[in-house]
Amino acid sequence: MPVISLTVNGKTCIGEVEPRTLLVHYLREQLNLTGTHIGCDTSQCGACVVHLNGASVKACTVLAVQADGATITTIEGLAQNGQLHPLQEGFWQQHGLQCGFCTPGMIMAAADLLQRNPHPTDEAIRRGLEGNLCRCTGYENIVRAVRYAAEKLRAPTGAASEV
């Protein structure tokens, strides 16, 4: 079996995988990082979004062997030193979730969106999250949460204004 080496949330992880193992299964079942969810399993819903070399991808549509040598960030790697990432804080403050199933993927997709466009309009936020489905919120509060994080990331020392 091929042996792959990944840097996941800053840690080097070396392991044997069957070539057909999907990245999402490797993360969840071999590395026990169950924050990345499996929703539709058909690259539609975005519950499994992680960052692969800095870009958001649907981990249900990437083979673990394709990621050999890559740097992966999952939802577990977003908070730093016990401090929530502004997106995590935004989803909390703005009630960007109900059941929470879509939230890890939603946050990882939003993080990619904000690194590409730090000043997104509401329309750009909606377009950037096109690949993520939420069956609870109706998206309004998710857009607010991303807007909150965008403001906070632009002014890292001050608190985000209430929106």
Partner 1 sequence: MIPCPFEYYAPTTVAEAIELLERFGDEARILAGGHSLLPAMKLRLAAPAVLIDITRIAELRGISTEGMVRIGATTTWSEIEGHAGLRRAVPALPEAVSLIGDLQVRNRGTLGGALAHADPAADAPAVVLALDARIEARGPTGERSIPVDGFFTDMLTTALQPAEVLTAVVMSPLGAGEGAAYVKYRHPASGYAIVGVAAYVKLTDGQVSACRLAVTGAGPMAVRRSGVEHALLGTDGSSAAIAAAAAIASEGMDILDDLHAGEEYRRAMVNVHARRALAAAVERARSRI
* Residues at the contact surface with partner 1, assessed by CB under 8 A: 2, 18-22, 25, 41-44, 46, 49, 52, 55-58, 60-63, 65-66, 68, 109, 112-113, 116, 128, 130-132
Question: How far is residue 71's CA from residue 42's CA, in Å, rounded to a whole number?
Answer: 23
Please, which residue, 27 or 160, has the CB nearer to partner 1? 27
Please, which residue, 55 or 163, has the CB nearer to partner 1? 55
Q: Are 51 and 59 in contact (CB under 8 A)?
A: no
Q: Are 64 and 23 in contact (CB under 8 A)?
A: yes
**Least distance CB 39 / partner 1 (angstroms):** 12
**Least distance CB 131 / partner 1 (angstroms):** 3
Strands (E), the chain: 3-8, 11-16, 49-52, 55-58, 71-73
Please, which residue, 30 or 66, has the CB nearer to partner 1? 66
- C-beta neighbour count of 40 within 10 angstroms: 13
Tokens 């199933």 belong to 101
Question: How far is residue 158's CA from residue 140's CA, in Å, rounded to a whole number?
Answer: 24
Please, which residue, 77 or 93, has the CB nearer to partner 1? 77
Beta bridge partners, 14, equal: 5
Please, which residue, 18 or 140, has the CB nearer to partner 1? 18
**Least distance CB 102 / partner 1 (angstroms):** 13
**Least distance CB 157 / partner 1 (angstroms):** 29
Which three-class secondary structure state does DSSP give residue 23? helix
**Least distance CB 113 / partner 1 (angstroms):** 7
